[in-house]
Amino acid sequence: MKFSIIYEAQMVDTSRENEAAVFHQIVDQAKYAEEMGFDCIWCVEHTALTQYAHMSAPETVLAFIAGATSRIHVGHGVVCLPPAMNHPVKVAERVATLDVLSKGRLHFGMGKGGTQQEAGTFGYDLSELGPMIDEAMYLVPKILKDGFVEHDGTYIKIPARPIHPAPYQDPHPPLYMACTREATLLQAGGRGIGALVLGFSGPEEIAKKNAIYREAFRNRKAEDQVGYRPTEHLAALCAATVLDDREKARKVGLRGQRFFAESIAYWYQGGPKPTVDDNLTADDHAKVLESGKQATIAYLSEEAIPVGDEHLSNYTVAQDAYGTPDDCIRYVQRLKDAGADEILFIFQMGGIPHDVIMESIRNIGEKVIPHFRALEQAEAVAAE
């Protein structure tokens, strides 16, 4: 089991000063996470989504973190592949360079981005991006392996050129896709790459997604393989606030999740702007999340859109992930039992303070990770 942190650079206060502070806090948190035994730091990529995600240049953030650390891995979760946003040649060059400088600590996820707000920034219609992303997804690993490109595709045309440098990992870093729906889980498994489940799905939904992904991976065809390094791996997002004070953890965590859910609803569904209310209790925030869930169900029903976990997962209240280290252990065990190979902790939601995030990292590093490492060691000894 891997224990990681994923960052959106989400913030309530978008002033120049606070925006800069959030990025410096991410670096401090990543350095502390390495000290506390975490395995990887992941960064998303979004453009033009105020408050929800200011992580627009993950390659820069990950390079800075890699240079400030020595052991912890870094991961793109994910690089958006519309060519005008990230041309395949530039993606290959950046991935290989960071892999070299980090001495093989890089993980490389790919996707298309989630909103018309982002796609339109680069002149695209989000609904038409699928085939273009597929073409780029197959092309980038080939460039990384060959160190050369000549491509005359439907959407991407590149004359014969040598591409440098070669990545540290041969033939390339492990590959992943962002997955929220059944279709993307089938694609990731069928293409022989890892699945990053980036919704707030609870253990029951993770178990369903895991079954879909594993079956697709088992039945994949050689001609559908993306890249040259099959990777069977399912990572599950886990929003968490882990403090000695359980009630404080619940209040702060649920307030953050509410801001996260409302931010997504604003940019993805045209909902109202997100709010922060420090006067509500944890139970009050849970009720607001439930009302948001019901409103989403009503909206989808009116539009005759099938209701899926990809629409509702952000309203799922992971009770035990907001609590004490013992609560967190119970919840992580449920995710592990559901099939997760990696826990993608997300701490930085809706203005959750830096000191609270640092305490969560400490508690997981001192109590949660050692618990599971001891279990794994005992299982390995028993298997000998």
Percent of the chain with pLDDT over 70: 93
Q: What is the pLDDT of residue 269?
A: 77
Q: What is the rounded (10 degree) CA torsion for 123, 87, 174, 100? A: -140
Q: What is the pLDDT of residue 351?
A: 87
Asked whether residue 257 is domain-assigned, the answer is: no
Q: Give the separation between CA 298 and CA 303, rounded to whole angstroms.
A: 9
Does the pLDDT at position 299 exceed 60? no
Asked whether residue 47 is domain-assigned, the answer is: yes
83-97, 203-217, 256-270, 360-374: least confidently modelled range: 256-270
Amino acid at 102: S
Is residue 177 within 8 Å of 191, Cβ to Cβ? yes
The three state secondary structure string of 219-251 is CCCHHHCCCCCCCCCEEEEEECEECCCHHHHHH
Q: Give the separation between CA 273 and CA 24, rounded to whole angstroms.
A: 26
Asked whether residue 253 is domain-assigned, the answer is: no
Strands 157-162 and 73-80: unpaired
pLDDT confidence bin for 122, thresholds 50/70/90: very high
Does the pLDDT at position 62 exceed 90? yes
Q: What is the pLDDT of residue 329?
A: 97
Asked whether residue 294 is domain-assigned, the answer is: no
R_g of the chain computed on alpha carbons: 20
Asked whether residue 278 is domain-assigned, the answer is: no
pLDDT confidence bin for 297, thresholds 50/70/90: low
User: What is the separation of C-alpha 39 from the centre of its chain, rounded to a whole number of angstroms?
Assistant: 14
Q: Whole-model pTM?
A: 0.94
Q: Compute CA distances 307 → 198, 213, 311, whole Å.
A: 18, 20, 7
Burial class (CB in 10 A: 0-12, 13-18, 19+), 28: middle
User: What is the separation of C-alpha 75 from the centre of its chain, rounded to a whole number of angstroms?
Assistant: 9
pLDDT confidence bin for 242, thresholds 50/70/90: very high
Mean pLDDT calculated for residue range 205-228: 97
Asked whether residue 298 is domain-assigned, the answer is: no
pLDDT confidence bin for 95, thresholds 50/70/90: very high
Q: Give the separation between CA 319 and CA 1, rounded to whole angstroms.
A: 21
Q: What is the pLDDT of residue 287?
A: 81
Asked whether residue 184 is domain-assigned, the answer is: yes
pLDDT, averaged across the chain: 93
In the chain, the number of structural domains is: 1
Does the pLDDT at position 101 exceed 70? yes
CATH number, domain containing residue 224: 3.20.20.30
- pLDDT tens readout for residues 128-147: 999 999 999 999 999 999 99
16-25, 209-218, 268-277: least confidently modelled range: 268-277
Q: Give the separation between CA 249 and CA 259, rounded to whole angstroms.
A: 15
Asked whether residue 46 is domain-assigned, the answer is: yes
pLDDT confidence bin for 275, thresholds 50/70/90: confident
Sign of the CA dihedral running 361, 367, 372, 378: positive
Is residue 286 within 8 Å of 172, Cβ to Cβ? no
Mean pLDDT calculated for residue range 8-16: 97
Mean pLDDT calculated for residue range 225-231: 98
Can you give the residue range of the structural domain that contains 14? Answer: 2-244+311-383
Is the pLDDT higher at 229 or at 288? 229
Q: Give the separation between CA 326 and CA 331, rounded to whole angstroms.
A: 9
